[in-house]
């Protein structure tokens, strides 16, 4: 169902851009290791400190969200969003083989409860690139019992906080973990190996996902469960077809097929990748802007990836990550607007897409690249950890609370009434409060 009509054709309003349904989930995403800080029992902590790993700096205190999580949840509420995706850190919940930390489980339970108290759906990611060191030392995803151990951890989390969880993502981007960790050597364990190893790790993470889904369904939780997949617009330029097809199979199709029986598929997308002569990955095309990540500014990827995932799986789709690393916040707004216009076309065509999460709530630790790329709607002072919302945060909040893209909501994007559940959820929120003031 679409909320309200479009104003296409009226002066000042662009071509028809449909609205989003009232029940649409509007969120922001973070990941435990990238924001919490001090994640010393995770393999990534060791990797950041290992010479030759290629990491430009360690995660250190990150955004100190381990202690400042309440501020983060408050920000989500103040912006008028109705969902927050955050990570539960396996290395904190099971810091040593078979040793469970009740204090850590309580910590994540408190975050879920704080979300619920503010009308925010807690979306929990169980594993986001990091593994406990004890498991990494035994082979990580290649350990013979990795799937069983992951399922046991999932069951513990569910038993402790499953009554509060709104949605659960099992393994985040297993396709990136296998590519970066076992083929390109850029993530732990740092292996540079061929497609066979990558494929074997794909299979191992899929086994872990399936075991976790089973464990969660057998537990107390009654929330939707799925995995999240990194997707790109994969394009073959002359001579690049074979490489593009291999990438499509190993990075996307094997995982899309593995979602059978899940409740949703999480799509995470940022850019386009072009394969050229000899299978080489081509640099950004002339005339296409480049983000701080070095890849193409390509918001069109959202419409492409959502349609592809929906067609391939038949499952409801949630865009569990999309955003841009840029120092220019106006460029962030333009990127999000174009991405959301594509998503609105999917909605108008009846594609079953349930929600959208901006990566990220905060400027945070961008893995090997450290803190330089800034994906956040909210900046973080690296010395004081002070959170400073950027104009894009308020822009996005307006889209979320109105269910409309700003060009339709009225000049400046501030017009239009909130609709349906979003209005109810945001009605008591004061978006003009001092703590939510835009950065200078």
Near ligand GAL by CB under 6 A: residue from 43, 94, 366, 422 = 366
Confirm if 271 and 296 have CB atoms less than 8 A apart.
yes
Q: Residues 48, 254, 296, 321: which is the catalytic one?
A: 321
Minimum CB–partner distance for residue 92 and ligand GAL (Å) = 17
Q: For the chain, what is the largest distance between any 2 Cα atoms, rounded to a whole number of angstroms?
A: 64
Q: What is the DSSP string of 126-149?
A: EESS--BHHHHHTTGGGSTTHHHH
31 binds ligand GAL (CB under 6 A): yes
| Alpha-carbon span 108 to 123, nearest angstrom | 11
Provide Rg for the chain, Cα atoms.
21
Give the contact letters, 42-71, x = binds to ligand GAL (CB under 6 A), - = no.
------------------------------
Interaction with ligand GAL in 124-143: which residues (CB under 6 A)?
none
Near ligand GAL by CB under 6 A: residue from 76, 213, 230, 267 = 230
Window contacting ligand GAL (CB under 6 A); options: 18-26, 62-70, 171-179, 432-440: 171-179
Which is nearer to ligand GAL, 172 or 178 (by Cβ)?
172
Window contacting ligand GAL (CB under 6 A); options: 13-21, 69-77, 146-154, 168-176: 168-176
Annotated catalytic residue 303: no
Confirm if 53 and 40 have CB atoms less than 8 A apart.
no
Cis peptide before 417 (omega within 30 of 0): no
Minimum CB–partner distance for residue 220 and ligand GAL (Å) = 27
Judged by CB under 6 A, how many residues of this single chain contact ligand GAL? 12
Q: Residues 36, 48, 94, 173: which is the catalytic one?
A: 173
Annotated catalytic residue 94: no
- Helix or strand or coil: residue 297? coil
Which is nearer to ligand GAL, 268 or 408 (by Cβ)?
268
Near ligand GAL by CB under 6 A: residue from 130, 268, 392, 401 = 268
Which is nearer to ligand GAL, 32 or 165 (by Cβ)?
32
173 binds ligand GAL (CB under 6 A): yes
Name the nearest CA neighbour of 431 among 77, 17, 146, 50: 77
Minimum CB–partner distance for residue 239 and ligand GAL (Å) = 28
Positive/negative CA dihedral, 1, 323, 383, 37 = positive
176 binds ligand GAL (CB under 6 A): yes
| Alpha-carbon span 10 to 126, nearest angstrom | 47
Which is nearer to ligand GAL, 56 or 96 (by Cβ)?
56
Which is nearer to ligand GAL, 155 or 247 (by Cβ)?
247
Window contacting ligand GAL (CB under 6 A); options: 84-92, 172-180, 215-223, 245-253: 172-180
Interaction with ligand GAL in 305-364: which residues (CB under 6 A)?
321, 359
What residues contact 145, with CB distance under 8 A and at least 6 apart? none
Query: Distances from the Cα of 234 to the Cαs of 243, 251, 295, 299, 304, in angstroms?
Result: 10, 10, 13, 14, 10
| Alpha-carbon span 340 to 353, nearest angstrom | 12
Minimum CB–partner distance for residue 29 and ligand GAL (Å) = 8
Give the phi and the psi of residue 377 in degrees, each rounded to 5: -75, -20
Q: What is the DSSP string of 276-290?
A: -GGGPBPPPPTT--B
| Alpha-carbon span 170 to 128, nearest angstrom | 9
Which is nearer to ligand GAL, 292 or 300 (by Cβ)?
292
Residues contributing to the site for ligand GAL (CB under 6 A): 31, 34, 172-173, 176, 230, 268, 321, 359, 366-367, 375
As annotated, the active-site residues are 173, 321
């Amino acid at each position: 169902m679409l909320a309200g009509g479009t104003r296409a054709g009226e002066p000042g309003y662009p071509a028809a851009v449909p609205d989003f349904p009232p029940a649409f989930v509007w969120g922001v995403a973070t990941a435990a290791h990238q924001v919490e800080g001090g994640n010393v029992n995770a393999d990534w902590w060791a990797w950041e400190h290992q010479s030759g790993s290629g990491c430009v700096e360690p995660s250190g205190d990150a955004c100190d969200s381990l202690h400042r999580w309440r501020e983060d949840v408050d920000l989500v509420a103040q912006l008028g969003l109705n969902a927050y995706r955050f990570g539960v850190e396996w290395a904190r919940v099971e810091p040593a083989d078979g040793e469970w930390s009740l204090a850590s489980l309580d910590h994540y339970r408190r975050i879920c409860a704080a979300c619920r108290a503010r009308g925010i759906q807690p979306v929990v990611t169980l594993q986001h690139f990091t593994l406990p060191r004890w498991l990494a030392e035994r082979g990580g995803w290649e350990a013979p019992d990795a799937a069983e151990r992951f399922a046991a951890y999932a069951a513990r989390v569910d038993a402790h906080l499953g009554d509060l969880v709104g949605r659960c993502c099992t393994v985040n981007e297993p396709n990136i973990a296998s590519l970066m960790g076992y083929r390109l050597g850029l993530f732990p364990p740092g292996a540079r190996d061929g497609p066979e190893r990558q494929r074997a790790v794909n299979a191992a993470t899929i086994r872990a996902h399936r075991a976790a889904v089973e464990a969660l369904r057998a537990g107390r939780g009654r929330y939707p469960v799925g995995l999240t997949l990194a997707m790109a617009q994969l394009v073959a330029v002359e001579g690049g077809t074979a490489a593009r097809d291999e990438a499509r199979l190993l990075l996307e199709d094997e995982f899309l097929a593995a979602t059978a029986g899940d409740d949703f598929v999480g799509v995470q997308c940022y850019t386009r990748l072009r394969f050229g002569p000899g299978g080489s990955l081509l640099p950004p095309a002339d005339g296409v802007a480049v983000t701080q990540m070095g890849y193409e500014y390509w918001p069109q990827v959202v419409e492409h990836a959502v349609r592809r995932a929906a067609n391939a799986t038949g499952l409801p789709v949630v865009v569990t990550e999309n955003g841009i690393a840029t120092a220019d916040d106006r460029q962030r707004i333009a990127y999000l607007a174009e991405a959301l216009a594509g998503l609105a076309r999917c909605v108008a065509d009846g594609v079953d897409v349930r929600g959208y999460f901006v990566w990220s709530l905060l400027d945070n630790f961008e893995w090997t690249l450290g803190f330089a790329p800034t994906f956040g709607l909210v900046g973080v002072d690296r010395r004081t950890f002070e959170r400073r919302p950027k104009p894009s945060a308020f822009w996005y909040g307006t889209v979320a609370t109105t269910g409309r893209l700003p060009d339709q909501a009225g000049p400046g994007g501030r017009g239009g009434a909130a609709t349906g559940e979003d209005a109810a959820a945001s009605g008591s929120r004061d978006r003009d409060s001092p703590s939510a003031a835009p950065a200078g």
